[in-house]
Structure 1
Amino acid sequence: MNASGPSILNISCYLFVEINAPEALRDVLHTRADALGLKGTVLIAEEGINLFLAGPAPDVNAWVDALRADQRFASLAPKESWSTEVPFRKLLVKVKPEIIRMNHPTIRPDQSPRAPALPAATLKRWLDQGHDDNGRPVVTLDTRNGFEVDVGAFDGAIDWRITKFSEFPEAVKAHRAELEGKTVVSYCTGGIRCEKAALYLAEQNLGGPVYQLEGGILKYFEEVGGNHYHGDCFVFDERRAVDPGLSPAPHNEALDRH
């Protein structure tokens, strides 16, 4: 509980894990969330779960604790932020073909070893010194849609102006020269897109290490603040963006265009 500030807890979380009966899980999770008065979106697929929920902290935590009691989801680690109001209008719990659509069937994080994840503090240190620990140049690769990048991004990040994540594989093929021989750190809002992106990049034999930023921008803000980042982070709820302190962002001109 954030006793000294806003009382509404917002969580975002995903986990790639095999789910054999997503429809049955959908019904259970919807019933629990509805009984607690939570709002937000929960996406379930055979490859895992992706969720954004908000409500009073005890109720949100009770829902998460119940989900973690299922051994498949014991490792869930929600990213938290706070607001004075619930930034969702309703509760949606849906079954989808993918929890993040890439349209690339060979990329199944639930069935593959996880791509190496880079802690926020390590990325900050590398950006501070201008190279990784082996002296190799580091590039940050934004895997989000162009309009999200406009709201805020890492300084000097590679941005291919994709309009949907399913365009990412073709963008890699068209721009691989920008990545070859470098240490590539893919990033996104909360980690889900860059987890799939890092697996795809690793398949491309780019001649250098490939990482995903652990927990995405939101975890980076939580652990090291806004170092080497300009602007805010777009979020898919009525707050529209959060600042590096994880508070609802003040007016951002880029949001007016979308």
Structure 2
Amino acid sequence: MPDILNVSAYKFVTLDDPAPLREHLFARAGAAGLKGTILLATEGINLFLAGPAPALRGFLDEVQADPRLAGLPVKESWSRELPFRRLLVKVKREIIRMDHPTIQPQAGRAASVDARTLRRWLDQGHDDSGRPVVTLDTRNAFEVDHGSFDGAIDWRLARFGEFPAAVQAHKSALEGKTVVSFCTGGIRCEKAALYLREAGVTNVFQLEGGILRYFEDTGGAHFHGHCFVFDEREALDAKLTAVRPFD
């Protein structure tokens, strides 16, 4: 049984001065022996961490003791080895860079759809109003090449900052459809759904928890291939297991 717990989590929430929080989290995560990355910005927190389960869960309890970070939704998977080589805690301009300052998820989320509902929509070929459903992959092209939803829209993005221009170029193809934006863990599709609304696409949802939650809750139905992850595991299958051994 693998004994290294891997977690990913994010929360859009106003952090007026993230620098002191950075020092605190770096000290506490380091003391717990954790590896991975924590990103902080005035718009929130985004983290990918790994370590022994008791230490990691204890650290997450400390993080969520901060009222601003309470209820941090955490996605878990397991591995036999640490998939990170070091611990990084950084303050950035955005926890996921879009370069579009009017998009502020901390001020209000876009509508979301849970994994089981999306699977049901894909099973029946339409949403509950009878409208055709399309899935929109908001990840970079090299991530999409590892796997995606069957028939997903893929605009061959080189980076997420290209997403707004891609919407403007292709939004007419989304008219009359229910659009479900998705990504690895939910953070990119959350901003993407807000931008789609801003651009005038009316029937838009974000996939709650992204591909990782979809795998956990549905077993990966309607998804082909694997989900790329930004650590040494490289990609996970629908059982949230690494598909290749560590180098």
So what's the TM-score if we normalise by structure 1? 0.94
Q: 1:103 aligns with which of 90, 99, 105?
A: 99
- Distance, in Å, in 2 between the alignment partners of 1:64 and 1:77 is 10
- How far residue 250 of structure 1 moved from its aligned partner, in angstroms, is 3.5
| One-letter identity of the residue aligned with 1:108 | Q
Conserved 8 A contact 2:233-2:244: no
1:175 corresponding residue in structure 2: 170
1:37 corresponding residue in structure 2: 33
- How far residue 21 of structure 1 moved from its aligned partner, in angstroms, is 1.1
Paired residues for 1:21-36 under 5 Å: 21-36=17-32
- Distance, in Å, in 1 between the alignment partners of 2:30 and 2:234 is 24
Paired residues for 1:109-258 under 5 Å: 109-111=105-107, 113-206=108-201, 208-250=202-244
| One-letter identity of the residue aligned with 2:185 | G
- Distance, in Å, in 2 between the alignment partners of 1:8 and 1:91 is 15
- Distance, in Å, in 1 between the alignment partners of 2:186 and 2:29 is 23
SS of 2:153's equivalent in the other structure is coil
Q: 1:47 aligns with which of 34, 43, 46?
A: 43
| One-letter identity of the residue aligned with 1:22 | P
1:74 corresponding residue in structure 2: 70
| One-letter identity of the residue aligned with 1:47 | E
- How far residue 226 of structure 1 moved from its aligned partner, in angstroms, is 1.3
**Stretches (4+) displaced over 3 A:** none
Task: List per-residue Cα deviations over 1:63-101 (Å, max 9, x = no partner).
Answer: 100011111111101100000001000000000000000
2:85 corresponding residue in structure 1: 89
Instruction: Give the unaligned 5+ runs of structure 1.
Output: 252-258
Task: List per-residue Cα deviations over 1:114-171 (Å, max 9, x = no partner).
Answer: 1011000000000000000110000000000000000000000000001000000000
How many residues of Structure 1 are paired with residues of Structure 2 in the alignment? 245
Paired residues for 1:14-25 under 5 Å: 14-25=10-21
Instruction: Give the unaligned 5+ runs of structure 2.
Output: none
- Distance, in Å, in 2 between the alignment partners of 1:177 and 1:10 is 40
- Distance, in Å, in 1 between the alignment partners of 2:215 and 2:166 is 27
- Distance, in Å, in 2 between the alignment partners of 1:197 and 1:14 is 15
- Distance, in Å, in 1 between the alignment partners of 2:156 and 2:142 is 8
- How far residue 204 of structure 1 moved from its aligned partner, in angstroms, is 1.7
- Distance, in Å, in 1 between the alignment partners of 2:82 and 2:14 is 31
So what's the TM-score if we normalise by structure 2? 0.98
Task: List per-residue Cα deviations over 1:18-39 (Å, max 9, x = no partner).
Answer: 0011110000000000001100
RMSD: 0.8
| One-letter identity of the residue aligned with 1:92 | L
